């Protein structure tokens, strides 16, 4: 339609699919809201990267795409009231994790609707343009499907904030709807500014929000974007749903910015009507709830957590002496080709579990911090991560390894799009006692050294091959370090290999590599003094041991200051 972003849908025949009964809710913990899968912005209504906005959903009525929506928890999507009012709820489908809606070879995750909750919306004044749709079964979160955060402050007007709108709507008033998801960045206007545009002043209510460029009108939402999200990044680098695409005169007309439902005016209504759903803890949890939760789960470490020091220059507690040496391997001989290590041969290797399930590795760098990959912790709740130290056979239930819980996660500016800055620090609940079986690895001295040609050793309990089980025993493999130029000449695209990455392996033949479960673990090499320093953190790769695809690691020398500064509350060994 040329005037307002309302959508008329075909209701010619009844849906034939059976709506499944509601299933038991999953735990409320294994998720993080508002995590966009790409941080660089694409402006001007151009295409977004695949799954850049994992909360965005598409509403389909019978067989026709009509509106957008946003996943806010495991059971509900929020959309505009005008997208659903007057329609039959059982004719709707909701698809998740899509990018190209015209790509029929892939089947997106699809849910049906059990109930529609529509606010008191009328076409007369266009207020209260918000609705909630209850899904037939809980959503399983993944890299491609995650909820957006709700705003935390009901009084925030967001004026001047740079927000992002996304959808598959028309590219122009008379244009076709887009096959691929598009996005545009828009400044949020004050309602006073909006009333001073070409709109009738009485049209712009307090429950509405305007965003766009009224003077130039070069960016806007359009027909088909209705119900979709307008999001803004908060100080925690998560995305909040601040608006719902509602209406506007035309698309990108001068003097007529887009008008959105102001979400923080409806927070109580949303939460009151979604009490049966599971929100990600980051939306509503506070520290008091965290203490209660951790006490209920018998996490003694949280109660005994050390308070943050008053200043960075406080003297180190004399109870914790630095009488230790880092990087001392307990066995000098090499075991190559993915063979089992000798017991506690690499005393700095740590194992991370989440909800008591092993998933990543790490390494001890001082008596208080473990280093790992950022992708091992991003989106997870730090208080559910457990670190075990001094292990060899992780399947030996008769042996109780030394265990710590995590009281703080410090992750670098990591994104899944480029896998750059894939590094994180875990602050442990209690200090580590340095023994023969638990010792830190040394950090490099020279941040310019590239290590080309050096034989390094990766260790972990990861899979022994693609689609194979994780190993019970700690394995290690010896791998030569490649120059980044060599790595860019493999089957990887040149742009994928950044200067902050390091490649190791045998690209000609493959066969020796790290694999799933080894992520976050160490790639270390022996120095002239027979001690081991950390060169890389297991990050990513295509497959495991495939010819042409060596393993890619985070290059530790590029992060030495970041590591030492953020782990300064721990005691580094002399090296």
Cα gap 556→561, rounded to integer Å: 10
Cα gap 281→295, rounded to integer Å: 16
- Which is catalytic among the residues 62, 82, 99, 375? 375
Cα gap 348→472, rounded to integer Å: 18
Cα gap 229→425, rounded to integer Å: 33
- Which element (helix H / strand E) includes 166? strand 162-167
**SS3 state of residue 259:** strand
Q: Is 375 a catalytic residue?
A: yes
- Which is catalytic among the residues 225, 422, 476, 513? 422
Using CB atoms within 10 Å of the CB of residue 281, give its burial: 0 to 12 exposed, 13 to 18 middle, 19+ buried: buried
Task: Tally Cβ neighbours within 10 Å of residue 506.
Answer: 15
Cα gap 76→70, rounded to integer Å: 9
How many residues can be counted in the chain?
575
Least Cα distance to 519 among 424, 418, 396 occurs for 424
Q: Is 392 a catalytic residue?
A: no
Virtual CA dihedral for 309, 312, 315, 316, nearest 10 degrees? Answer: 70
- Which is catalytic among the residues 238, 246, 519, 524? 519
Six token digits for residue 17: 């699919």
Cα gap 537→518, rounded to integer Å: 9
Cα gap 71→91, rounded to integer Å: 19
Residues facing residue 318 across a β-bridge? none
Active site residues: 375, 422, 519
């Amino acid at each position: 339609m040329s005037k307002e972003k309302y959508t008329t849908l075909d209701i010619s025949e009844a849906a034939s699919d059976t709506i499944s009964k509601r299933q038991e809710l999953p735990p409320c913990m294994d998720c993080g809201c508002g995590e966009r899968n790409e941080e660089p912005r694409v402006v001007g209504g151009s295409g977004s990267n695949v799954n850049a906005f994992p909360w965005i959903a598409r509403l389909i009525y019978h067989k026709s795409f009509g509106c957008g929506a946003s996943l806010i928890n495991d059971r509900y999507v929020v959309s505009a009231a005008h997208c659903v009012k007057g329609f039959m709820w059982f004719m709707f489908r909701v698809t998740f994790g899509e990018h190209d809606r015209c790509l029929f070879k892939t089947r997106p995750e699809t849910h049906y609707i059990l109930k529609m909750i529509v606010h008191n919306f009328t076409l007369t004044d266009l207020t209260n343009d918000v609705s909630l749709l209850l899904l037939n079964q809980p959503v399983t979160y993944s890299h491609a499907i995650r909820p957006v955060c709700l705003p935390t402050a009901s009084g925030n007007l967001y004026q001047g904030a740079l927000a992002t709108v996304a959808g598959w709507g028309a590219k122009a008033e008379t244009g076709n709807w887009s096959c691929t998801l598009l996005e545009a960045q828009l400044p949020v206007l004050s309602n006073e500014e909006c009333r001073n545009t070409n709109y009738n002043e009485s049209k712009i209510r307090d429950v509405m929000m305007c965003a766009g460029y009224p003077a130039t009108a070069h960016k806007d939402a359009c027909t088909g974007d209705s119900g979709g999200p307008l999001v803004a990044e908060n100080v925690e680098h998560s995305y909040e749903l601040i608006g719902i695409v509602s209406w506007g005169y035309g698309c990108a007309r001068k003097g007529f910015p887009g008008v959105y439902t102001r979400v923080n005016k409806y927070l109580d209504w949303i939460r009151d009507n979604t009490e049966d759903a599971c929100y990600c803890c980051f939306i509503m949890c506070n520290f008091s709830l965290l203490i209660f939760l951790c006490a209920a789960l018998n996490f003694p470490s949280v109660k005994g957590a050390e308070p943050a020091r008053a200043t960075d220059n406080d003297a180190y507690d004399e109870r914790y002496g630095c009488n230790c040496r880092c990087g001392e391997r307990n066995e000098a001989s090499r075991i190559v080709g993915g063979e089992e290590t000798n017991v506690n041969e690499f005393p700095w290797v740590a194992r991370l579990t989440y909800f008591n399930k092993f998933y990543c590795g790490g390494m001890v760098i001082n008596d208080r911090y473990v280093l790992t990959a950022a992708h091992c912790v991003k989106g997870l709740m730090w208080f559910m991560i457990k670190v075990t130290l001094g292990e060899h056979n992780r399947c030996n239930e008769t042996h109780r390894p030394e265990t710590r819980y995590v009281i703080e996660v410090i992750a670098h500016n990591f994104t899944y799009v480029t896998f750059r800055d894939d590094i994180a620090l875990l602050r442990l609940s209690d200090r580590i006692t340095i023994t023969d079986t638990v010792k830190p690895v040394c950090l490099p001295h020279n941040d310019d050294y590239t290590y080309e040609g050096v034989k390094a050793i990766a260790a972990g309990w990861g899979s022994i091959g693609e689609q194979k089980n994780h190993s019970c025993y700690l394995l290690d493999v010896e791998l030569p370090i490649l120059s980044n130029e060599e790595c860019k000449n493999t089957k990887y695209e040149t742009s994928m290999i950044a200067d902050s990455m390091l490649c190791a392996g045998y690209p000609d033949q493959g066969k020796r590599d790290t694999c799933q479960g080894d992520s976050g673990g160490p790639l270390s090499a022996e120095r002239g003094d027979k001690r081991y320093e950390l060169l890389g953190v297991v990050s990513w790769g295509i497959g495991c041991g495939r010819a042409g695809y060596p393993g890619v690691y985070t290059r530790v020398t590029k992060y030495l200051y970041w590591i030492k500064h953020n782990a300064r509350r721990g005691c580094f060994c002399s090296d």
